Each structure stands twice: as structure tokens, then as C-alpha cells.
């Protein structure tokens, strides 16, 4: 609980990303610590998704460095500790032959040896992940027939099946209704509080989860780190970030 605790899960230094001559991200430095709940917001095209992809090694930075658990990204091997839920759940069409159970089981793939049968531990991890994401009743449903909200929870359950220490979620822009969204946020908060899973969450909808998040990163080419999210949600900051007259719905508790 002493020194080990202080090694950040992600340590990002002076990270830049340039695509076809245009700087998408410039000079980003940030740290993500164990058990944090972090939201990343910013306008479309501001580089949120690119940042996350660089954290995961899916895109290579043009400058700077990412360290995971103190190791340089290319030397990092314990990918099981990291669960990733991408923005587009996948490129896959409605025809993909997978039930919800098939999908969640994928999360165990890298933990199983070739030819091995599913162990008791595998089965429990899959059940547990489905329970936590409240998708047990969907397990025999085909993935192509899920609603946006159900799909989001299923993808999250797949990530949880590998028992990660950190969950990185890139929220879809569309297709998830408000009710499912709130339900999803509630499940995430619970994971963070009860299981101490670190959560990094890219979202457009900061108003809804502002109560729970610990820190807020705003990304629009550059990064601003805010340790008190509720203060950051002033209209002034928002308009700076988005470059427009931001219309912000403050908090769902006030009703509107």
C-alpha cells in the first residue's frame, strides 16, 4: 500500500499525434492511478478516441511516450489487466453467429490454453461478468438483435470476464437511450466503488455522471485536467472547450 500504490497505471508524457500533417493531439501529459474514476470529454474530432487508442497501443504516437504499470508500452505483456470497450462495439453486422454468452466468453480467450476445456474458473468469471452487467437474462440472445444499451453492457461484460484492473470505455455517440445510459452509469459506479476497478470513460454526456467521477480530462487537441469535475462544468469552460456557446444540462437531479 506504500510505494507500489503510487506507480500510475498509465503514465503519459508529452504525447502528440499527427495525421496527414495535422496535429490531432499536442503535448498531452497525464497520469491515471489505481481505483480512479475518470471521465474524458471533448468535442468530436478533438482527439479523445485517438488518445485512448494510443494508451492501448492501437495507434502509435508521433511524439511522446506511454507507460503502463511503469513499463514502456511495447514491453507491457499483462494485457489481461486492461479491459477495453470500443466506441463502435465492432464492425460486425447483424449476421455474426454469436450469442451474448459466446461474446462474453471471448473475454476469457487469452487466459485459456489451446484445446483446453472451459475451467470452473472460466465459467465463474463469465457468469460473474454477466451478473455485474445485468445481462444474464440475455445470454442466449443473438448479438445482432440487441438494443444499443444492451449491446453496451454485453461488451462491457466481455471486458470484465478477463477480470481487469482497469476498464477503458469509449462511449458510442448514438443508439443508447437515456434510461439505459443511466442504468449503465450506475453499474459502472458500483464497479468502481465496490470492486475498486479503475474506470476511464470517454463520454459526451458529462452531466449525467458528474456526481460520481473523480477527475475530468477535457481533450481538444490539448488536455486540461480538472480535479474537481463539478467546478469544470461551468458554461464558460464548456464554451472554451467546444468553441461555441455551450448549452449544458447541469444535473439530472434538478429535473428539466
Partner 1 sequence: MFEIFEYDFMQRAFLAGLIIAILASVSGTFVVLRRYSMISETLAHSALVGVAVGLVAGFNPLWMAVIVAICSAWLIEYLRSAFSLYSDAIMAILLSGSLAVAVVIVSLGGAFNNSLFSYLFGSILSVSVEDIYTIAFFGTISLVLLLSFSKELYFVAYDEEVAQTNGIQVRFLNFLLVTVVAIIIALSIRVVGSLLIGALMVIPTIAALQFRVGFLPTVLISLVFAIFSVIFGMTLSFYFSLPSGATIVLSVLGVFIISLIVSKK
Chain positions 144 to 173 lying near partner 1, rule: CB under 8 A, are: 144, 158-159, 162
- Please, what is the minimum distance in Å from the beta carbon of residue 84 to partner 1? 4
Rule CB under 8 A: say whether 101 interacts with partner 1: yes
Of 19, 58, 178, 249, the residue at the interface with partner 1 (CB under 8 A) is 58
Which one, 158 or 238, has the nearer CB to partner 1? 158
The count of other CB atoms within 10 Å of the CB of residue 240 is 14
The answer to whether 27 and 12 have CB atoms below 8 angstroms apart is no
Query: CB-hemisphere CA count at 13 Å for 160?
Result: 28
Q: What are phi and psi of 201, to 5 degrees?
A: -135, 120
Of 1, 114, 179, 236, the residue at the interface with partner 1 (CB under 8 A) is 114
Between CA 46 and CA 98 the distance in angstroms is 34
Of 29, 90, 119, 173, the residue at the interface with partner 1 (CB under 8 A) is 90
Rule CB under 8 A: say whether 243 interacts with partner 1: no
Rule CB under 8 A: say whether 77 interacts with partner 1: yes
Of 6, 45, 57, 243, the residue at the interface with partner 1 (CB under 8 A) is 57
Of 7, 56, 225, 248, the residue at the interface with partner 1 (CB under 8 A) is 56
- Please, what is the minimum distance in Å from the beta carbon of residue 71 to partner 1? 14
Q: How is 132-149 classified by DSSP, letter by letter?
A: HTT-GGGTTSBGGG--HH
CB under 8 Å to 33, separation ≥6 — which residues?
Answer: 6, 8, 9, 198
- Please, what is the minimum distance in Å from the beta carbon of residue 200 to partner 1? 13
How many residues bind partner 1, per CB under 8 A?
A: 35
Residue corresponding to grid cell 485517438: 50
Q: Angle at CA 45, nearest 5°, toward 42 and 49?
A: 75
Find the part of the chain contacting partner 1 (CB under 8 A) among 61-69, 75-83, 187-195, 247-255.
Answer: 75-83
Helices (H), the chain: 48-55, 100-106, 120-132, 148-161, 178-194, 206-209, 229-232, 235-242
- Please, what is the minimum distance in Å from the beta carbon of residue 68 to partner 1? 11
Q: Angle at CA 221, nearest 5°, toward 43 and 223?
A: 95
Residue corresponding to grid cell 508524457: 13
Rule CB under 8 A: say whether 102 interacts with partner 1: yes
Which one, 86 or 229, has the nearer CB to partner 1? 86
Rule CB under 8 A: say whether 79 interacts with partner 1: yes
The contact set with partner 1 (CB under 8 A) reads 56-58, 77-80, 82, 84-86, 89-92, 95-99, 101-103, 106-107, 109-110, 112, 114-115, 142, 144, 158-159, 162
Amino acid at each position: 500500500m506504500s510505494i507500489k500504490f503510487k506507480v500510475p497505471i498509465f503514465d503519459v508524457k508529452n504525447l502528440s499525434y499527427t495525421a496527414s500533417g495535422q496535429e490531432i493531439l499536442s503535448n498531452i501529459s497525464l497520469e491515471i492511478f489505481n481505483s480512479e474514476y475518470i471521465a474524458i470529454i471533448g468535442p468530436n474530432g478533438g482527439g479523445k478516441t485517438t488518445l485512448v487508442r494510443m494508451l492501448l497501443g492501437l495507434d502509435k504516437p508521433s511524439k511522446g511516450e506511454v507507460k503502463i504499470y511503469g513499463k514502456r508500452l511495447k514491453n507491457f505483456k499483462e494485457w489481461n489487466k486492461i479491459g477495453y470497450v470500443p466506441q463502435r462495439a465492432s464492425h460486425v453486422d447483424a449476421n455474426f453467429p454469436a450469442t451474448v454468452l459466446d461474446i462474453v466468453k471471448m473475454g476469457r480467450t487469452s487466459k485459456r490454453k489451446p484445446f483446453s476445456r472451459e475451467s470452473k474458473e472460466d465459467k465463474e468469471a463469465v457468469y460473474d461478468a454477466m451478473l455485474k452487467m445485468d445481462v444474464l437474462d440475455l445470454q442466449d440472445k443473438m448479438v445482432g438483435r440487441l438494443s444499443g444499451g444492451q449491446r453496451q453492457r454485453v461488451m462491457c461484460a466481455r471486458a470484465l470476464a478477463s477480470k481487469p484492473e482497469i476498464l477503458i470505455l469509449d462511449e458510442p455517440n448514438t443508439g443508447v437511450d437515456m434510461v439505459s445510459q443511466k442504468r449503465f452509469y450506475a453499474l459502472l459506479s458500483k464497479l468502481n466503488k465496490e470492486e475498486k476497478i479503475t474506470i476511464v470513460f470517454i463520454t459526451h454526456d458529462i452531466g449525467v455522471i458528474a456526481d460520481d467521477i473523480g477527475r475530468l480530462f477535457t481533450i481538444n487537441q490539448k488536455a486540461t485536467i480538472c480535479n474537481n469535475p463539478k467546478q469544470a462544468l461551468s458554461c464558460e469552460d464548456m464554451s472554451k472547450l467546444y468553441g461555441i456557446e455551450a448549452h449544458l444540462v447541469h444535473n439530472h437531479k434538478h429535473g428539466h
